[in-house]
A and B are shown apart, each in its own frame.
Chain A
Amino acid sequence: MKPIFVLLFTMIFFSCDYDMDENIIFKDLPPKTLDAQIEILSVLTGNQPMNADNIIRSRATIEERRITVNYLSQVLKQLNLEPIKHQYKEPNTNPLIDILIGPYKGTNLFTILPSTNNSNEYVVLGAHYDTARNCPGANDNASSLSVLYGVTKRLSNVDLRNKNILVVFFDQEEENLVGSKAFVKYLLKHKYQVHSVHTLDQIGWDKDGDRAIELELPTPELKKLYKNQGAKLNIPIHTTNVNSTDHHSFRQKGFTAVGITEEYVNGDTTPFKDSKDDTMDTIDFEYIDSTTNLIFEVINDIVKSNKHDLGQTK
């Protein structure tokens, strides 16, 4: 019987996860929002080192994703926000696969920009940070991460927020939206009262220079909010029925959700998705800037208002 105990002990020992603190040398981001956004995108796509000895070429392996989470934590700390890691394990899509391999493992990173009046309502802004293998993922999806940085920074400077803003960076979107699905479970488990969910994916390509965006499956109310601000900023807003990214995980569970992306259906979209050519030089930073403006105005509009009738968790 003794060897069995030794075996058991060894297995338990090796099944523990260690979370080593990353030795990140983080220099302050430039004060100008757009400059900071450019730097964030540059670091995420491997044009600048992420920490003392790491330049990452993609955000695909466990190690690359772990380094990315630590970097994004530092970015949030620059905004005086507390980064919170949501670590999860999820079963495979089929129990037969469960027998063959281990569960999905990942980390979502989120932070809360609190309301200015102790509201318990949340507006969720999200974008995935993982990439396909060997893909720098500038458009997909560092572009959205830098937009979210800009939006969060601007929102943190407004005087009145009637709702909390939860900003989340999802893991494993590229693998059946596992990260956002796990995060939906987390929100439901902790009974977050969610007003609406806005997820961004691929927002860096604008060859025709019209600054247009596509809204994926918005509710009529959300569509109206975006159209209003779009009209003010002279940004065309199209709507599509694409559901292949993170907002789908939320809608499935009854949340009011919308996806925001470049003109994916209209065809003004990166030809380099999931390839090694999805690099920083393909990113249109004027487009990043204009989308940051638009989303800031929409979310600011939502959090300024006292209305609670847009969305509810199931």
Chain B
Amino acid sequence: MIWAKQNSKILIYQIILFGSLLLFLLKAIQYAFLGSYSTLLTSIIIIAIFYLIRKKKNRLNSSIKIWAILIIAWSLIRIFFGILIHFVEPLTENHLQENLGFLGMCISIFFLFGGFFLLNKKNRNNWLRQRV
């Protein structure tokens, strides 16, 4: 039972890690189609780093840590602006509202939890142990 629970946690960890990288790549591809390529370049670099160090436990560990912190920062900035647009008049753009409204806030909070889940030392070590 404990083993099964542990196993599912490892699976969740894997989904969040790969899913977040994949989502970033998809977002970057979307922007590349719109003529903006810098996001694609950034995402390819990040994914390449993960690929190159996939067998080096220590480096993989610190890279995941940095990635998790970036996800947390991303979520917090979005949450911050999502709250701000309700109070600051010049920021009441529809576009921001559309992205950081209710659904946007849910996404931000979801990723915030995801980021902390990836950052959690115990989760990270468990996943690394079976992976590398």
Contacts and interface: CB of A to CB of B under 8 A. Distances in A.
Given A99-B39, A101-B99, A4 B94 contact: no
Interface in B67-90: 74, 77-78, 81
Contact of A8 (B22, B74, B77): B22
Majority-rule SS of B interface residues: helix
Given A89-B34, A95-B36, A100-B77, A62 B19 contact: no
Interface string A20-48: 00000000000000000000000000000
B34 A91 contact: yes
A214 B77 CA distance: 43
B95 interface: yes
A219 B34 CA distance: 32
Majority-rule SS of A interface residues: mixed
Interface residues of B, number: 31
Given A3-B11, A3-B15, A98 B36 contact: yes
Nearest to B43: A99
Q: Which of B11, B26, B93 has most A Cβ within 10 Å? A: B93
B125 to A, nearest CB: 21
Nearest to B26: A11
Contact of B35 (A61, A62, A91, A132): A91
B123 interface: no
B97 A133 contact: yes
B36 A91 contact: yes
Contacts of B74: 99-100
B21 to A, nearest CB: 10
A101 B11 CA distance: 28
B32 to A, nearest CB: 10
A85 to B, nearest CB: 18
A104 B97 CA distance: 11
Contacts of A99: 27, 39, 42, 74
Contact of B14 (A3, A62, A175): A3
A90 B98 contact: no
B113 interface: no
A7 B92 contact: no
A162 to B, nearest CB: 36
Contacts of A107: none
B22 A172 contact: no
A159 B94 CA distance: 43
A61 B94 contact: yes
A103 interface: yes
A62 B97 CA distance: 10
A271 interface: no
B23 interface: yes
A102 interface: yes
A174 interface: yes
Interface in A145-197: 172, 174-175, 178
A102 B104 CA distance: 10
Given A95-B38, A178-B95, 14 more contacts: A4-B18, A4-B22, A11-B23, A60-B94, A61-B94, A61-B98, A89-B30, A98-B31, A99-B39, A100-B74, A101-B95, A101-B104, A174-B94, A175-B94
